[in-house]
């Protein structure tokens, strides 16, 4: 076979006339399916059709990575749904040709195989994956406001049966190699010491094919079964997201319910529906959040700092959970408090987290061994990062850092987790105040992905970058913010929650209605429930610091609840009663209330404070502010961030 040169592909034929096709996108760290990549693939398929080899094996030229999907950057160039639909149909035609090649084909998957990468792999006769930790397969498209559009909805439901395939596509869940094998998405696994290349060569020489679905899987695609299962899927999905805010999963369910028994019709529905979704406001907003996430991850990348040991002072809910999270990310952590009785609850919570995340006894035991109770604080001298997480009192924090400074390594990061106290006030007692940074985590630590990296005019730039690098190391998004009361997230939340409490106290609007109005806008939970979740004692401290005289009466409401021991979710009662981790709410409380009007009233101070923070240069730019509010407060992701929403409000509300 002749060997033409391609920019993003290599085509080689071995002595047995097996053709090896390697995707290695030029100038990129990972492979994605851009228009250029697809155009070259079409040329290769034409060549293979004219000069058939004995077999074809597809592999990646990138280390520990297969294909991460379509090139999301090119989505922004699509001007209308007709253009998107036309491109999708072109891809369908190309992938059908790959599927119909008249010789054995196999694909070797090592590393991330996502979205369009899985869809291309499904066109091959046989799929082989490396059974190692870095291999993941999945369809993350719903997180971008669409569903699989390169044939995925048709081929997965045909291969695996509708029930299993739909669960994977609707959730965007990542599968490990052995899970993908169990579901039939992968046909063969190769262990760490095996040879993928040898397995691929053997597969095509023996003309191996995927075994296809079992009887029950086939039955799930039959009309009556589809109707029943689609109803259950719709109900389950509705409990998580609104079809108005997130239409993609509901479009997928409808397409499968109506046409799941006909692959050609499913492809037609894909082209039409995904073409419309990709140009809608939800997809645009979610794509912006995707880029904002990448921007946050870029902070600290050039630092080179990497920690081995962390020392946390303060074993309360926040400090204990920071320690547990860092252990999960592979660090050795010492946890200090005044007495062992204050550390023990944190160790118990950590054990539950380890059991939930790590599953196996040996991994859980390993994590527990890395979390060390340290009443005397001896770990501070060895630590690469020291985080203070004691109660919100300036004098107490100053006293602690003054005693700590001479005991720690000169190169160690010194950080405070204060939620509102200005950095310069804490650092004033240090001999080297330029060294102190804020690492402000959010509750619950295991779920909230943002960390504010707080600095002021005196802070050394390399300390900010090292702090950001540490956040990336423990899989948290670093957001550099200038020190001022409340920083960014709490400053905005304080105005938003104050408005909610004023409406609750002055007009006696039910708390359930206030929360429902916020959820109607797209917030993951309402402000009253959020206050209970964070802790009313924490909220009271923030209100005292940030609210001023305007918040005096609302602070008294919180103060009376705290005095009764009603701290919110962590004590079992606050504004709500909590059972099994859920707030008990009255459904009747929202009757006869104009939730849309209430929603606008609630969100107005949120937006006003965002604009004020931007004007005060609390963060670098509008992108940074939107990222902070999405990942720090859960601001409706489908809206792309508060400032992006304000710029595109009319378009979003008209859809």
As a whole number, mean pLDDT of residues 285-298 equals 95
Domain 306-485 falls under CATH 1.10.10.10:
no
* Topology classification of domain 9-279: 2-enoyl-CoA Hydratase; Chain A, domain 1 (3.90.226)
Choose, from 419, 472, 483, 599, the residue flagged as catalytic. Answer: 419
Euclidean distance between CA atoms 365 and 444, whole angstroms:
23
Alpha-carbon torsion (640, 644, 648, 649), positive or negative: positive
Whether the CB-CB separation of 547 and 554 falls below 8 Å is answered with yes
Residue 2: pLDDT band (50, 70, 90) is low
pTM for this prediction: 0.89
What is the residue whose two structure tokens read 């965007």?
172
What token pair was written down for 241? 């997201």
Catalytic residue among 8, 440, 472, 554: 440
Helices (H) and strands (E) in the chain, counts: 27, 20
pLDDT digits (tens, 9 = 90+) for 110-141: 999 999 999 999 999 999 999 998 999 999 99
Predicted pLDDT of residue 647: 93
User: What is the reported pLDDT for 655?
Assistant: 61
* Percent of the residues in the chain that have a pLDDT greater than 90, as a whole number: 84
For the stretch 357-364, contacts whose Cβ atoms lie closer than 8 Å and that sit 24 or more positions apart, written own/partner, are: 357/328, 358/328
Tokens of 633: 């407060």
Which strand ranges, in their side-by-side order, compose the sheet holding 65-67? 65-67, 112-114, 136-138, 175-176
| Confidence class for position 193, pLDDT limits 50, 70, 90 | confident
CA 546/CA 418 separation, integer angstroms: 13
Is the model's pLDDT at 211 over the cut of 60?
yes
Annotated catalytic residue within 251, 452, 519, 609: 452
Predicted local confidence at residue 538, as pLDDT: 79
3-class SS letters over 66-129: EECCECHHHHHHCCCHHHHHHHHHHHHHHHHHHHCCCCCEEEEECCEEECHHHHHHCCCCEEEE
Closest among 28, 155, 39, 147 to 91, alpha carbons compared: 39
pLDDT of residue 651 exceeding 80, the answer is no
pLDDT band with cut points at 50, 70 and 90 for residue 71: very high
Q: Check: CATH 3.30.1490.20 for 490-617?
A: no
C-alpha of 591 from chain center: 35
- 327-365 confidence digits (pLDDT tens): 999 999 999 999 999 999 999 999 999 999 998 999 999
Check residue 153 and give its pLDDT: 96
Q: Is the dihedral of CA 313, 314, 317, 320 positive or negative?
A: positive
Q: Is the torsion defined by CA of 538, 539, 540, 544 positive or negative?
A: positive
Three-state DSSP class for 599? helix
Average pLDDT over residues 214-231: 91
The predicted structure's pLDDT at residue 588: 87
For the chain, give the mean pLDDT: 93
pLDDT over 90 at 559, yes or no:
no
Active site residue 550: no
Q: Which of 179-193, 467-481, 504-518, 556-570 has the highest mean pLDDT?
A: 467-481
pLDDT, tens digit (0-9, with 9 covering 90-100), for 385-406: 999 999 889 999 999 999 999 9
- Mean pLDDT value of segment 445-455: 96
Domain ranges across the chain: 9-279, 306-485, 490-617
Residue 490 is among the residues annotated as catalytic for this protein:
yes
Q: Categorize the per-residue pLDDT at 3 as very low, low, confident or very high, splitting at 50, 70 and 90.
A: low
Give the pLDDT confidence score for residue 654 in this predicted structure: 63
* Residue 293 host element (H or E): helix 281-298
The residue annotated as part of the active site, out of 32, 281, 490, 599, is 490
Residue 637's pLDDT is: 94
């Amino acid at each position: 076979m002749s060997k033409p040169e391609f920019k993003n592909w290599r085509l080689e034929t071995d002595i047995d006339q097996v053709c090896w096709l390697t995707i290695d996108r030029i100038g990129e760290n990972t492979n994605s399916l851009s228009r250029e990549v697809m155009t070259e693939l079409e040329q290769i398929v034409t060549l293979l059709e004219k000069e058939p080899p004995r077999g074809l094996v597809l592999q990646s030229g990138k280390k520990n990575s297969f294909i991460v999907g379509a090139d999301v950057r090119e989505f922004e160039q699509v001007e209308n749904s007709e253009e998107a639909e036309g491109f999708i149909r072109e891809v369908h035609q190309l992938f059908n040709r790959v599927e119909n090649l008249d010789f054995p084909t196999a694909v070797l998957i090592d590393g991330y195989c996502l979205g369009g990468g899985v869809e291309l792999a499904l066109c091959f006769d046989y799929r082989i994956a490396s059974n190692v930790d870095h291999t993941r397969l999945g369809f993350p498209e719903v997180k971008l406001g669409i569903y699989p559009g390169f044939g995925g909805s048709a081929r997965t439901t045909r291969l695996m049966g509708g029930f299993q395939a739909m669960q994977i596509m609707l959730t965007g869940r990542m599968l490990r190699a052995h899970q993908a094998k169990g579901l039939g998405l992968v046909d063969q696994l190769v262990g760490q010491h095996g040879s993928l290349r040898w397995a691929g060569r053997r597969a095509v020489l023996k003309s191996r094919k995927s075994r296809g679905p079992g009887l029950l899987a086939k039955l799930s695609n039959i009309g009556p079964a589809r109707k029943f299962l689609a109803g259950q899927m719709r109900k389950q999905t509705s409990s998580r997201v609104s079809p108005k805010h997130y239409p993609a999963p509901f479009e997928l369910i409808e397409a499968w319910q109506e046409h799941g028994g006909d692959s050609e019709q499913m492809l037609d529905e894909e082209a039409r529906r995904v073409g419309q979704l990709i140009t809608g406001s939800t997809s645009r907003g979610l794509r912006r959040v995707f880029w904002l996430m990448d921007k946050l991850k870029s902070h600290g990348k050039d630092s080179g700092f990497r920690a081995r040991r962390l020392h946390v002072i303060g074993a309360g809910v926040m400090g204990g959970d920071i320690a547990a999270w860092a252990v999960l990310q592979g660090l050795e952590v010492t946890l200090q408090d005044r007495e062992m009785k204050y550390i023990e609850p944190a160790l118990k919570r950590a054990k539950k987290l380890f059991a939930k995340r790590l599953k196996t006894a040996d991994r859980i035991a390993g994590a527990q061994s890395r979390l060390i109770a340290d009443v005397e604080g001896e770990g501070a001298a060895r630590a690469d990062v020291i985080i203070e997480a004691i109660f919100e009192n300036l004098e107490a924090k100053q006293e602690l850092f003054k005693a700590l400074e001479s005991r720690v390594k000169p190169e160690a990061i010194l950080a405070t987790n204060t939620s509102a106290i200005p950095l310069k006030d804490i650092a004033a007692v240090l001999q080297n105040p330029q060294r102190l940074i804020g690492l402000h985590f959010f509750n619950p630590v295991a779920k909230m992905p943002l960390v504010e990296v707080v600095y002021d005019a005196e802070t050394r730039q390399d300390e900010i970058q090292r702090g950001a690098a540490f956040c990336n190391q423990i899989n948290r998004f670093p957001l550099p913010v200038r020190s001022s009361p409340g920083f960014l997230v709490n400053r905005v939340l304080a105005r938003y929650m104050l408005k909610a409490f004023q409406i609750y106290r002055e007009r006696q609007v039910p708390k359930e209605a206030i929360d429902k109005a916020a959820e109607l806008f797209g917030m993951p939970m309402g402000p009253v429930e959020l206050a209970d979740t964070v802790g009313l004692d924490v909220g009271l401290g923030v209100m005292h610091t940030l609210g001023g005289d305007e918040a005096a009466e609302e602070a008294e409401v919180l103060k009376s609840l705290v005095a009764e021991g009603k701290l919110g979710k962590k004590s079992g009662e606050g504004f709500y009663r909590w059972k099994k981790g859920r707030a008990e709410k009255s459904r009747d409380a929202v009757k006869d209330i104009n939730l849309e009007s209430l929603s606008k009233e609630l969100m107005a101070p949120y937006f006003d404070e965002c604009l004020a923070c931007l004007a005060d240069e609390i963060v670098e730019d509008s992108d940074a502010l939107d990222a902070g509010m999405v990942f720090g407060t859960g601001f409706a992701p489908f809206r792309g961030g508060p400032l992006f929403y304000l710029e595109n409000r009319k378009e979003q509300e008209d859809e």
